[in-house]
Amino acid sequence: MKHPWKSRDNRPLQTSLTIDFLLFNCMLLMLVLGVYLFVQKDITHVIMDKMIPDPELSVEAVDYSRELGEGPESERLLQSGGWLELLDSGKQVIRVVGDKQDTAMGYDEDSLFLGLENRSDQPYYYSITRLEEGSEAAFLLLKIPRHIIKVSINNELLVSYLNHSVFFYVFVVSGLILLLIFVYSYWVSRRIKRPLRVLNLGMTRMMEGHYNTRIALYAETEFLRIGNSFNYMADVIQKTTEEKRMAERSKQRLMMDLSHDLKTPITSIQGYAQALIEGRVTDQERQTKYLNYIYTKSVQVTKLIQHMLDLLKLDSPDFIVRVERLELGDQLREIIADTYGDIEQKSFELQLQLPEEEVYARYDPELFASVINNLIGNALAYNPEGTCIRVTVIPEDTEVRIEIADNGVGIPRELWSTIFDPFVRGDEARSTSGGTGLGLSIAKKNVEKMGGTLLLESSGGEPTIFTIRIPR
């Protein structure tokens, strides 16, 4: 069903109000014109009812009742073309004085009253009077041709009529104008109130927590803009709320995973330390082994706590990213140089592929170094000796692509969709190297803080390819 006010859709509010005002003025003009025509007709009717003929010629039948055709008045009437008709009690003509110009020889009540109205379209002027008893007739009817009567207006009568009628017409016109103004005001307010009511209902539902509320308006452009802004705001609030809810769940899961991951090494440390304190281990070699185990587990706990702090710091709104447009090649060479000792120690092969020309990109040097160290550290931790690590820089039109790949064991496909989530690693990914499961999550957040992306890919000879894209 078509909405009754959908035609105003996409129309500016000013245009709608202007059109409404013009329609109101047209209706007001029609009202005034109608009242004017009615008053004019009424005044004309009054004037025609009160015609005053040429004063030299009497137009009242009673003035001829004494003469009955014999006298100066009758002579003047006959000379003007008028005549007298004597009627009996049945309104039948029994004698005519003068030259009768019509054929009527009798009248009924209706035809006689119609003639006595003396309308402007009648060919003759009528006047009748009752004669005295004993006369040869009962009535005397006067007829005068309309064209010989000179009509003038009785100003006193007209003024009297206007004085008595002006209050009535002013009252009626004022009432009609007030009614029209009320209808116009109600119509305009209803048209404006309807979209406002929809907006108010939508806001109320949003305040009640129904963030999936959306509104559809069929109104002027201004209301449509407000409606679109409301829907956009609702989208943002709903998205933010869902993200906040997910963040809360993620934080709870993070704390549970952290508690679990801390509990295991700390329990081991407590057990070995207690054995040493109680003197249950007397062999020097076993004591050294226990102490090394305690040290290794404490390093793992420290690393886990540090990664946790780094992750929380990245999620903090106070965290500041210092992105600058810097040369990328030298920065990457310095990072690789710092990790080269670990690469040699693990008997890994390194391929560094940098373009000959300088490559500039927008990044935070500290965050960028953390990402590269993290990805290379993962490759060293989870792959066997002899694995080849490739680091390649590929400049593109609007961004720089950095690939860190290896031909090692790879990451199971079932972990790809969640590999960047905190503590999502599985035994296969973590192996037994003591990884915290937070490194890739921190790396991804660091890249995103710099306005880039981090993806996991693979090819035939390289099962693991981490692709970093940062703007130039």
368 and 434 in one domain?
yes
**Does residue 459 fall inside a structural domain?**
yes
Helix (H) or strand (E) holding 166: helix 155-207
Where is average pLDDT lowest: 251-255, 280-284, 411-415? Answer: 251-255
pLDDT at 410: 87
Of the pLDDT bands very low, low, confident and very high (cuts 50, 70, 90), residue 55 is low
Average pLDDT estimate for 299-324:
78
411 and 387 in one domain?
yes
pLDDT at 103: 87
141 and 238 in one domain?
no
**Does residue 216 fall inside a structural domain?**
no
**Does residue 55 fall inside a structural domain?**
no
Domain boundary among the residues 129, 148, 167 is at: 148
- pTM listed for this prediction: 0.48
Domain boundary among the residues 140, 175, 205 is at: 205
393 and 267 in one domain?
no
**Does residue 445 fall inside a structural domain?**
yes
**CB count in 10 Å sphere of residue 354:** 17
- Quick check: 190 pLDDT over 80? no
351 and 244 in one domain?
no
369 and 251 in one domain?
no
Average pLDDT estimate for 140-166:
68
431 and 333 in one domain?
yes
**Does residue 1 fall inside a structural domain?**
no
CB 311 within 8 A of CB 438: yes
- Quick check: 361 pLDDT over 90? yes
Predicted confidence (pLDDT) per residue in 380-435, tens digit: 888 889 999 999 999 998 999 999 999 988 888 888 888 887 766 544 444 444 55
Predicted confidence (pLDDT) per residue in 197-220, tens digit: 888 888 888 888 888 888 887 777
pLDDT at 278: 84
**CB count in 10 Å sphere of residue 123:** 10
299 and 247 in one domain?
yes
Average pLDDT estimate for 251-271:
77
3-class secondary-structure state, position 71: coil
**Does residue 54 fall inside a structural domain?**
no
Phi, psi of 394 (to 5 degrees): -125, 105
- Quick check: 175 pLDDT over 60? yes
CATH at residue 257:
1.10.287.130
Domain boundary among the residues 181, 205, 229 is at: 205
CA 302, 308, 313, 316 torsion: positive or negative? negative
324 and 310 in one domain?
no
**Does residue 165 fall inside a structural domain?**
yes
pLDDT at 390: 94
**Does residue 212 fall inside a structural domain?**
no
If one compares 298 and 14, the residue with the highest pLDDT of the two is: 298
pLDDT at 163: 63
d(CA 290, CA 281): 9
Average pLDDT estimate for 270-296:
86
CB 471 within 8 A of CB 398: yes
pLDDT at 46: 56
CATH at residue 454:
3.30.565.10
Of the pLDDT bands very low, low, confident and very high (cuts 50, 70, 90), residue 238 is confident
260 and 178 in one domain?
no
pLDDT at 333: 92
d(CA 415, CA 437): 12
pLDDT at 325: 92
- Quick check: 49 pLDDT over 60? no
Q: 455-461: which pairs have CB atoms within 8 A and are 24 or more residues apart?
A: 456/411, 456/416, 456/419, 456/420, 458/410, 459/405, 461/407
- Quick check: 360 pLDDT over 90? yes
- How many structural domains is the chain composed of? 4
Domain that includes residue 34, residue range: 6-49+155-205
358 and 298 in one domain?
no
Average pLDDT estimate for 109-127:
85
339 and 410 in one domain?
yes
pLDDT at 5: 43
- Quick check: 442 pLDDT over 70? yes
